[in-house]
Structure 1
Amino acid sequence: MHYFRENKKTIFLLVAPGFAFFLMAVLFPIGLSVYYALTDWSGIGGFNYIGFRNFQRVLQDRIFWHSLKNAATLALMTITIQHPIAFLFAVLIDRLGGKLEKVFKTIFFIPCVIPVMVTSKMWVNIYNSQYGLLNKVLELIGLGFLKQQWLGDPKIVLYSLVLIMMWQGFGWAVLIYYAGVKSLPEEVFEAAKIDGANRCQTLFRITIPLMQPVIAVNVIWAVISSLKQMETIYLTTNGGPGNASQFLANYLYIKAFDAYEFAYGNAISVFFVVVCLLTTVVLNRLLTRKEYY
């Protein structure tokens, strides 16, 4: 082992394949995006160098900032609504034990294994204002006055989409929290039980503090996933009506491939990468502590 650490040639040979893959799969595409963002290329034919005009345009683009705001709304609602519920279910599933534990793990993870296209189309039908299940149920239970055009009203379309995406990702959140709960040392809980701690005290004074590293990972994952959301938006509203439900990834796709503004789409993607990196760094600083390692 000491030989491998001292031999620089061996270290280089071991690291080179991974670094080459990282260079070609990550750094090179980012560099190419920066290059194209400095041009006026439409995606077809020739192009001219225009400097930083596309980047200036992004900074003045209301839809870009609205898309970023929508992603922040999704992240906030995921962390404050989905995660507490997922955490609670993870604890309850752990306490069930036996066959019921396996059954509920499977049930909660089902939305994660169904293709996004299938679940998105299913929710489009549920939300349909004429024959959708949601409006039919509301009418059936005497709440017909609450019927809405769930994906057609700019005021509520974002929240309708947030519900879909939280439902789709609920199983992942439960699974991560469940794995964290399962890894907690049993002797700590046994000691708390001997000391007379009830379930509520055990949850808030032992389980949650010990789960802080897992919670941090799940929060970071939720925020980054919110920034990268595209498939569900594309398959349900495509950012509409207007751009009320627009998200960054979907917006840059529209600009690059639908509007034939390939260079501008690349400028958005560069900002997109920067936002994701900054968000990850900031959240890592805020949510991780040295004593957890």
Structure 2
Amino acid sequence: MNKYFSTKLSIFVFTAPALLLFTVFCVYPLLPEIWMSLHDHDGFRNLGFVGLDNYREVLSTPSFWTAHKNTYLIVGISLLLGLPLSMMLSLFMDVQTPRLRRFFKTAAMFPAILSVTVVAQIWLAFYEPNWGLFNRILQSIGLSDWTHSWLTEKRTVMPSIGLSFLWQYIGLNAILFYTGIKTIPKDYYEAALLDGASFAQVCLKITIPLLQNVIKYVLILSTLGSMAFYSHVRVMTAGGPGDTSRTVIYQMYYTAFDTSQFGKGTAIAVIFIIQCLVISFIIQRFVARGKLEF
């Protein structure tokens, strides 16, 4: 019994500083925002308590749901396209010579260290309808009918912005996967090769299963990072045309700062935080639940 309580006491003593810091810097700052979301606030003055009216009005606004559709489209692009491509890139780097591996690692990280503004300006030039790279390529191969004004057409604007986001961070995820691959003991690979396993079988039966914890981390990082998608939209389209390229974060910014409805803006922020917590819980609960031991 004394051993049981001493163990629990030790856990509390060592975790208390981290819990205190988390409470002070993460939990406590949310409380004033939740309180503001229950008021009619213009950023300078509290115009009165309105209860849940801000939430009701936000949830009944069509642009709020358009923003959610766009946000989860970016999440889908990041997860369904980005993660498999990052995994393939990491596997490709792992089988290269040391010199080529250094080159590909540097090339993969380069977009991620660039400023979002720089990346957005590069892709704005690619998408320029008159002299942009993409339309010029289509024209040069006889596909002029496929050219678009990529960032001003409703059906192409979000995939176009999502592609720029994907390009910037696909290499970073590949480096994370590659780092995880290097922690896997070589004995497994040597045994598989002696048994005559192909490269694809080694990847599917050894590498990917033993990367489950890294995959979970990258999945959370990519999902929450995609949900917080804002800067590319701000630079490339400013939410246009109309409100068709707004994301949840952009909708929150627009509501709070452009229309001076800080109560509604913070209501959007609270809803967004709840969604992120739920998604994080689902990933933690259902992805890579088994204990991994080498």
Common fold: TM-score over 0.5? yes
Aligned residue identity for 2:162: V
Aligned residue identity for 2:43: G
Residue 278 of structure 2 corresponds to: 278
Residue 217 of structure 2 corresponds to: 217
Residue 251 of structure 1 corresponds to: 251
Alignment of 1:5-20 (within 5 A): 18-20=18-20
Q: CA deviation digits over 1:271-293, x for unaligned, max 9?
A: 01100000100111121213226
Range moving further from structure 2, 211-220 or 102-111: 211-220
Contact 1:68 1:227 in 2 (8 A): no
Contact 1:150 1:156 in 2 (8 A): yes
Range moving further from structure 2, 56-65 or 219-228: 56-65
Question: In structure 1, how many angstroms separate the alpha carbons of the residues matched to 2:33 and 2:289?
Answer: 35
Aligned residue identity for 2:90: A
Q: CA deviation digits over 1:10-56, x for unaligned, max 9?
A: x76x7666445433422222111111111111112342111110011
1:174 aligns with 2:174: yes
Distance 1:58 1:197, change over 3 A: same
Distance 1:224 1:6, change over 3 A: closer
Question: In structure 2, how many angstroms separate the alpha carbons of the residues matched to 1:180 and 1:161?
Answer: 29
Question: In structure 2, how many angstroms separate the alpha carbons of the residues matched to 1:270 and 1:46?
Answer: 18
Deviation at 1:215, TM superposition (A): 1.7
Alignment of 1:46-65 (within 5 A): 46-65=46-65
Deviation at 1:86, TM superposition (A): 1.2
Contact 1:86 1:174 in 2 (8 A): yes
Contact 1:126 1:134 in 2 (8 A): yes
Q: CA deviation digits over 1:183-209, x for unaligned, max 9?
A: 111000100111111212112222122
Residue 234 of structure 2 corresponds to: 234
Deviation at 1:174, TM superposition (A): 0.6
Between the two proteins, the alignment pairs up a number of residues equal to 289
Deviation at 1:213, TM superposition (A): 2.1
Question: In structure 1, how many angstroms separate the alpha carbons of the residues matched to 2:187 and 2:8?
Answer: 44
Distance 1:116 1:185, change over 3 A: same
TM, length-normalised to structure 1? 0.92
Question: In structure 1, how many angstroms separate the alpha carbons of the residues matched to 2:149 and 2:256?
Answer: 30
Range moving further from structure 2, 114-123 or 38-47: 38-47
Distance 1:226 1:6, change over 3 A: closer
In structure 2, runs of 5+ residues without a counterpart are none
Residue 140 of structure 2 corresponds to: 140
Contact 2:210 2:292 in 1 (8 A): no
Deviation at 1:269, TM superposition (A): 0.4
Contact 1:41 1:48 in 2 (8 A): yes
Contact 1:41 1:262 in 2 (8 A): yes
Residue 185 of structure 1 corresponds to: 185
Distance 1:188 1:71, change over 3 A: same
1:160 aligns with 2:160: yes
Q: CA deviation digits over 1:129-163, x for unaligned, max 9?
A: 12222212221222222110100001111110110
Deviation at 1:64, TM superposition (A): 1.7
Residue 111 of structure 1 corresponds to: 111
Q: CA deviation digits over 1:203-257, x for unaligned, max 9?
A: 2222122222222221222111111111111111122112211111111011111
Task: Among all aligned residue pairs of Structure 1 and Structure 2, give the percentage whose two residues are the same amino acid.
Answer: 28
SS at match of 2:149: coil
SS at match of 2:124: helix
In structure 1, runs of 5+ residues without a counterpart are none
SS at match of 2:227: helix
SS at match of 1:242: coil
1:130 aligns with 2:152: no
